[in-house]
Structures are given as C-alpha cells and as structure tokens.
C-alpha cells in the first residue's frame, strides 16, 4: 500500500494555528461533562486513563465514581487489599490494569512520598504507565507540554495527515508521535489534548466519520483525497477458536471451593470456581474428566453432580461454552497446583473478585 502522506514537518505554522484554534473552539462547545474532568487531580486522571484503555466511556463512568469513592487518593489505593481493588474493578476486564494501578500506587507512596511525578520519564518507570498514560497525566494534570497518542488520536491524526499504512506498526507510531508533538500549542495543553481525544471519539469515528460536522475538515488530507473511510486500513479479521470449559461448584459442609487464579493465567489475582478446558463428549466421559481435572487442580476427589447451567462468552479470540456443574467433596486434602484454594460460605462470595461468568455462577449458587 502507498505510504504517501503529509509529513508533520510540512504542517506549516499557519496550518497548526488554524487547527488549534478550530479544535479548541469546537471543544469549548462540545466537551462532555465526564466525572474525571471535574478536577486536574493526577490520581483521578490516572485512574480514568487506566479504565478507559480498552473500555468505552459510557461503561467507565459508573466504575470510576465507585472506585474513587472507595479509594479517593493514591495513599488509600496503596494501602488497600488487592482483593478489594480487584472487586472494584470486577466487570471491567483486563484485570492486569487494576493490579498494575495498585502496584504503581505503592511505588508512588514508597518512592515519591505519595506525590505523583510530574514528568513523562519518571511516570513511565511506574508499573502499567506507558508513554500514552504518562503523557496524559503530565499534560492533563500538570499542563506539561507532552503529546498523547491513543486509539482515538491514532485514527484522527492518521486521517489528518493521510497516513495510509498500519498506524500501529513502528513506522506509523514514529510518524504519529511526531505529529502529536508538532501540533501541540505552547499553552493550554490539557484542554488541547483532551479536545483531540474528544474529536476522535465523537466526530472522527472509526466508521463513517462525521466529516460534515468536523471543525478541521478543510485541514484534513484524508478528506481532501476522499480516503477518510480507508484510513486507517482495516485490520485482519479475528480467527475465532471454539472451546468448551467446565466450572465445578464443589460443596463441603455448606461451603464452596474457590481458587485464586495464579500468575500468568487469564484472570490472575481473581478468584474462581475450579475451571478448566474439557475435551470429552457425553455425560459419562465428562464425569470422569471432571473428577480428574478437579483433582489435578485442587488435590481433592469429588462426586460430580448435575449440569447447573451453560453460558457462552468470549475471551480474546476464544469463543467459550462454559458448562457449570455441581459437585460434592468426597475425599482428599487440598493441594493447590498454583493459586490458593479456600472453602468459603456462599454468602461470602460477594467479597471475592470474580470474572463475569464466575459472578453469574456465584449468583446461581447463592441465589442473590
Ligand atoms: Fe476525521 Fe473527517 Fe474530520 Fe478528517 S474531516 S479529521 S476524516 S472527521
């Protein structure tokens, strides 16, 4: 594919001035009232940016309010139990973000006296803070002259300069970071960066960008060339893989068995019922496999019970059918094969962070 595009170095000063003026004027009218925009507190900026990675604004709002109400500052977050942090994050997915937030808060307290570093370089030494998040905190909270580049601005800038190759590859990233830096004004950086993201999110949308409503349409190289629908190029279609998993609600004297997902596994840090992939077909074979796999994961022998429910869900490229079974403890001692095991009263399940399907199963178990 051709790579001709406007290099940021030929975005002349007149272009940049007009762009900044029009963008900020548009933002003054169209800025959404979002809970994390009501102050420049770096903690709130940071939490919102972590939540907004891979998650829609509409979903994040309620999570954000709940999180900062329970953990209103970096010291409270640092001192919190990881289980409580993950419980507040439950349902947002990509739980690594929450664990890194927690670890970074502990570093900020231990190494920076609880004060946020103000510069991009130091911010990037913290867990989970890459160039984008560091730029967002430095520019939005501290008005530092730091560029940002995230999903919305990658698309917007690619179109503005008509960059036709894959903007997530290193050549594209280099060009777009340079563009993001070149277009920064001298002051009002916080508003400028937020306005860029807002324009990408509300007007320069992934499909059918609203060029007719765009304040910078006459400055846009993709629009001039009629390429706005072709930039950025569509990624490869995901090849889905179908698998079947089983979860077993093992009961013993009124308690159920939970397992903490170990490091390196999907949902590390979260709790779950014993869960694993199964290959067998037919009730008899499935029973044998349930017994063997629960033993492998927990050390105990169970008597499998009936199928309680089947759920369909997706994780990355896997399309999963999850069959949930009842089970009762027969013999043996707990011997975890990675990840802690714990007998828990059903009414206490609410305190544990679970995956979305784990929570649905917990509600079935506890009837809440
Ligand atoms: Fe995006 Fe269209 Fe505006 Fe160009 S003119 S920035 S493609 S909305």
Taking only the tens place, the pLDDT of each residue in 43-54 is: 999 999 999 998
Domain spanning 241-367: which CATH class is it, in words?
Answer: alpha beta
**Positions marked active-site:** 49
Q: Is the pLDDT of residue 37 over 60?
A: yes
Q: Which residues line ligand 1 (CB under 6 A)?
A: 156, 159-160, 203-204, 209-211, 214, 216-217, 220, 222-223, 228
Q: Is the pLDDT of residue 196 over 90?
A: yes
**E-strand stretches of 198-282:** 241-252, 255-260, 271-272, 275-277
> Domain limits of the chain?
8-224, 241-367
**Which among 5, 23, 204, 221 is the best mutation to test ligand 1's pocket, defined by most ligand atoms within 8 Å of the CB?**
204
Q: Where does the pLDDT of residue 4 fall: very low under 50, low under 70, confident under 90, or very high at 90 and above?
A: low
Q: Where does the pLDDT of residue 33 fall: very low under 50, low under 70, confident under 90, or very high at 90 and above?
A: very high
H or E element in which residue 322 lies: strand 318-331
What's the angle, vertex CA 312, arms to CA 252 and CA 280, rounded to 5? 65
Looking at domain 8-224, what is its CATH homologous superfamily?
Answer: Hypothetical protein; domain 2 (1.10.340.30)
Q: Which residue has the higher pLDDT, 266 or 144?
A: 144
Kindly state the average pLDDT of the residues 126-150: 96
**Which among 22, 161, 222, 230 is the best mutation to test ligand 1's pocket, defined by most ligand atoms within 8 Å of the CB?**
222
Among 62, 98, 93, 59, CA closest to 80: 98
pLDDT at 282: 77
Residue nearest to atom 7 of ligand 1 (CA): 228
CA of 39 to the centre of ligand 1 (A): 29
Taking only the tens place, the pLDDT of each residue in 60-101 is: 999 999 999 999 999 999 999 999 999 999 999 999 999 999
pLDDT at 2: 46
Using CA atoms, how far apart are residues 4 and 176, in angstroms rounded to an integer?
14
H or E element in which residue 189 lies: helix 189-202
What letter would DSSP give residue 34?
Answer: -
CA atoms within 13 A on the CB side of 239: 0
Q: Is the pLDDT of residue 227 over 80?
A: yes
Which atom of ligand 1 approaches the CA of 203 most closely?
8
Using CA atoms, how far apart are residues 260 and 273, in angstroms rounded to an integer?
9
What letter would DSSP give residue 138?
Answer: I
Residues contacting residue 254 through CB under 8 Å, at least 6 positions apart:
345, 346
- Mean pLDDT score of the chain, rounded to an integer? 94
H or E element in which residue 98 lies: helix 96-112
Q: Is the pLDDT of residue 356 over 50?
A: yes
Largest CA distance in the chain: 78
* DSSP of 267-294: TTT-EESSEEE----SHHHHHHHHHHHH
CA of 163 to the centre of ligand 1 (A): 13
**Percentage of the chain lying above the pLDDT 70 cut:** 97
CA of 224 to the centre of ligand 1 (A): 10
Taking only the tens place, the pLDDT of each residue in 335-348 is: 988 889 999 999 99
């Amino acid at each position: 594919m051709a790579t001709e595009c406007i290099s940021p170095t030929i975005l002349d000063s007149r272009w940049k001035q007009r762009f900044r003026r029009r963008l900020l004027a548009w933002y003054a009218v169209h800025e959404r009232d979002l809970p994390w925009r009501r102050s420049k507190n770096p903690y709130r900026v940071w939490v919102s940016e972590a939540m907004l990675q891979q998650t829609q604004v509409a979903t994040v709002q309620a999570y954000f309010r709940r999180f900062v109400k329970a953990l209103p500052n970096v010291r409270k977050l640092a001192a919190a139990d990881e289980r409580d942090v993950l419980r507040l994050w439950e349902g947002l997915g990509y739980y690594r973000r929450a664990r890194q937030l927690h670890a970074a808060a502990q570093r900020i307290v231990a190494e920076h006296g609880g004060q946020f570093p103000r510069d991009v370089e130091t911010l990037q030494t913290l867990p989970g803070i890459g160039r984008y998040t560091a730029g967002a905190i430095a520019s939005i909270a501290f008005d530092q002259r730091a560029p940002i580049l995230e999903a919305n601005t990658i698309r917007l800038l690619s179109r503005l300069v008509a960059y036709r190759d894959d903007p997530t590859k290193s050549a594209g990233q280099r060009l777009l970071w340079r563009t993001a830096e070149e277009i920064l004004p001298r002051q009002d950086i916080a508003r400028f960066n937020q306005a860029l993201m807002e324009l990408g999110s509300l007007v320069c949308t992934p499909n059918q960008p609203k060029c007719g409503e765009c304040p910078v349409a006459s400055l846009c190289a993709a629009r001039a060339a009629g390429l706005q629908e072709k930039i950025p190029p569509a990624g490869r279609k995901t090849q889905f893989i179908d698998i079947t998993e089983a979860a077993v609600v093992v009961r013993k004297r009124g308690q159920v068995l939970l397992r903490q997902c170990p490091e390196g596994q999907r949902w590390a840090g979260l709790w779950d019922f014993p869960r694993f992939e199964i290959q067998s077909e037919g009730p008899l074979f499935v029973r044998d496999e349930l017994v063997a796999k629960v033993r492998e994961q927990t050390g105990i022998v169970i008597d499998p019970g009936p199928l309680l429910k089947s759920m369909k869900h997706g994780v990355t490229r896997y399309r999963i059918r999850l069959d949930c079974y009842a089970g009762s403890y027969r013999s043996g001692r707990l011997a975890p094969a990675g990840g802690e095991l714990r007998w828990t009263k059903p009414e206490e399940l609410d305190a544990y962070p679970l995956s979305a399907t784990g929570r649905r199963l917990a509600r079935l178990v506890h009837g809440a």
